[in-house]
Structure 1
Amino acid sequence: MRGLTGARPRTARTTPQAASTTTVVVAALALCAAGCGTGGTGARDEGPANGYSAASPTAQAPAGRLDGVDPVRLVKGDPEVSAEVKRQLKPCVADEYPVDVSYGRLTGGTVDDIVVNVLTCGDAVGVGSYVYRDVHGAYQNVFAAEEPPVYAEMDRGDLVVTHQVYDRGDPVSSPSGEDIITYRWSEGRFVEEFRTHNDYGRVAGGGQTPVPLE
């Protein structure tokens, strides 16, 4: 998955909080990864715009979106974004910035919300995920996650954030698993609805392979 290191889940465990519903969410994510059709309220159906060029001409924004929004400038000027993420947000090649940007309705407004994922240049690992909402004609930060590797997506009106987790001794390239958290906008903020944990297997993906017994 983009923004995360390349490991595959082995087993899953869910918290007692709406466990059966969480299974449905995970299944929906798997279907979307294979290619969702139209009809969702979030921009995840079409996928994020990968990368951003500062030299791109400013076109008139589509209906339901504010004009002249520069996602790179939005992140760099955001006081909620850490200095470390801002330091890493620099062009990788020429004027191409390592950001993925998605537009869609997450917060019930009449203007599209924006999800911005800031990645590393070399291996495209997510270092920060942010949601911006229109407030009186200007975008303001209403969500931030800065524990890498992290990646946020829109999924039919919900915000889905994936964090990869490490056990002691895990190399950076081989996390032990991932937490998938679904948030829903409620009373002016994002509230956690579901949480799933996946453990990664060690056989596939270059991990340790058990030696067969003779």
Structure 2
Amino acid sequence: MRGLTGSGSERVRGSAQAVIAAGAVFAAVALFLAACGTGGTGTRDEGPAHASAVAGVVDSPSPSPSGGFRRVDAVSLLRKDPAVSAAVKRDLKPCSGGDYPVDVTYGYLTGGSVNDVLVNVSTCGDWVGIGTYVYRRVEGAYKNVFKAEESPVYSEIDGTDLSVTKQVYATDDPVSNPSQETVITYRWKAGRFTEINRHETDYSKTGGDAAATSDN
């Protein structure tokens, strides 16, 4: 929520009118807090798509009564992580608009008391996903608990599950039309992400139809 806009100040006559005005302000503030507290499947950093997270680690209001929200410097996190490949780190630089091709989402995937951090890295030119990572806060630091670097790849938070989309392109496929798409759902079990479902879609090159298969 970006904020509230008022209609300007108004002269109030009499104590009764003052009480009514105060009550209206109180109701508006309560409504604002209730709306901002509504949760979703994940909290994404505001700003342009694929923009980097705000620098530094700061405390923010908790999106859940069971934990705390911490915003991270995702670019710095990736650069210091030995699990991130050298190829991805080479592409981790600002695009023409000055923003890093990094998309950061916060959510609760691993059952911890502090939100987990999902980071997707893309190319600047065509925004093709080249890496996706999940970081879990462990003893005051963030630990890499998941990575996928088989491009094109992109991940999302679905409730408390991790949904990873991988696409396959033939030689003549445009970026917008892959030959195959696989969506894999992972769930945190016994200290690691375990695959619980796989959905594959093969796109026909003749009629534009798709054949889908799902493994549960």
**Shorter-chain TM-score: which interval?**
0.5 to 0.7
Counterpart amino acid of residue 65 in structure 1: F
What's the secondary structure of 2:69's corresponding residue?
Answer: coil
For the structure 1 residues 93 and 59, does the alpha-carbon distance in structure 2 shift closer, same or farther, using more than 3 Å as the test? farther
Counterpart amino acid of residue 62 in structure 1: P
Residue pairs, 1:51-200, within 5 angstroms: 51-53=50-52, 60-63=59-62, 64-66=68-70, 69-93=72-96, 95-167=98-170, 169-171=171-173, 173=175, 174-200=177-203
Percent identity reads: 55
Q: In 1, Cα distance between the equivalents of 2:126 and 2:168?
A: 17
Under a length normalisation based on structure 1, what TM-score does the superposition of the two structures give? 0.68
Whether contact under 8 Å (1:184, 1:193) holds in the other structure is: yes
Counterpart amino acid of residue 198 in structure 2: R
Under a length normalisation based on structure 2, what TM-score does the superposition of the two structures give? 0.67
Q: In 2, Cα distance between the equivalents of 1:104 and 1:199?
A: 31
Once the 2 structures are TM-superposed, how far is the Cα of residue 164 of structure 1 from its aligned partner?
0.2
Q: In 2, Cα distance between the equivalents of 1:149 and 1:39?
A: 29
Once the 2 structures are TM-superposed, how far is the Cα of residue 165 of structure 1 from its aligned partner?
1.5
Whether contact under 8 Å (1:54, 1:96) holds in the other structure is: no
Pair member with larger Rg: 2
Whether contact under 8 Å (1:53, 1:95) holds in the other structure is: no
Once the 2 structures are TM-superposed, how far is the Cα of residue 172 of structure 1 from its aligned partner?
5.7
Counterpart amino acid of residue 187 in structure 1: A
- Gaps spanning 5+ residues in structure 1: where? 1-37, 206-214
Counterpart amino acid of residue 83 in structure 2: E
